[in-house]
Amino acid sequence: MSNENIEENVEVREEPVVVEKKSESLMQTIKFTLFSISAAIIQTLSFTVLSLLVFHDAENEYGWSYFISLTLSVLWNFTLNREFTFKSANNVPIAMLKVLGFYAVFTPATIFGGQALVNAGWNNFLVFVITMLLNFVLEFLYCKFVVFRNSINTNKRANKESK
């Protein structure tokens, strides 16, 4: 059998490729940044109140203050970014479980690492800011390429905007 005959009998199926526009990706980055700033305000205010008023002089002051403030921030950020940044209609419990998976690794690493730095003499708030910046970058990448990867622009808002 010649190569010509083989090529004639082979059916090539191409999967549709979804190409994201650079402008859309830029808008996602800007929206994520703005929502993250609002989440950072929530996290910073709650961290400050918890550190100075609730857990002041408590063992693991940094860890408890950080954990509670991070939880508040994540809930806020997830809700806004799901609806407005990634415009996702995916299953909320599944998406939250994926986010929980991220934070199941990130939170202990940053709590214990942060507490170790504080115990070594680093300033609470410096450690907090470094951790927030790390969280911002890693969470954006994780949300875009894992949590909402196959559901970007699938909610009602995205459908209205595309018409």
Report if residue 96 sits inside a domain: yes
In this predicted model, what pLDDT tens digit does every residue of 28-84 receive, in sequence order? 999 999 999 999 999 999 989 998 888 777 666 778 888 899 899 999 999 999 999
Domain extent at residue 154: 22-162
Q: What does the pLDDT read at residue 3?
A: 55
For residues 2-13, average pLDDT: 52
Q: What does the pLDDT read at residue 136?
A: 92
For residues 132-155, average pLDDT: 93
Determine the Cα–Cα distance for residues 132 and 138; give it in Å rounded to an integer.
10
Q: How many domains does the chain have?
A: 1
Q: Using pLDDT thresholds of 50, 70 and 90, give the confidence band for residue 20.
A: low
Report if residue 15 sits inside a domain: no
Report if residue 8 sits inside a domain: no
Q: Using pLDDT thresholds of 50, 70 and 90, give the confidence band for residue 97.
A: very high
For the question of whether the overall pTM of this predicted structure is more than 0.85, the answer is no
pLDDT at 1 over 90: no
Report if residue 30 sits inside a domain: yes
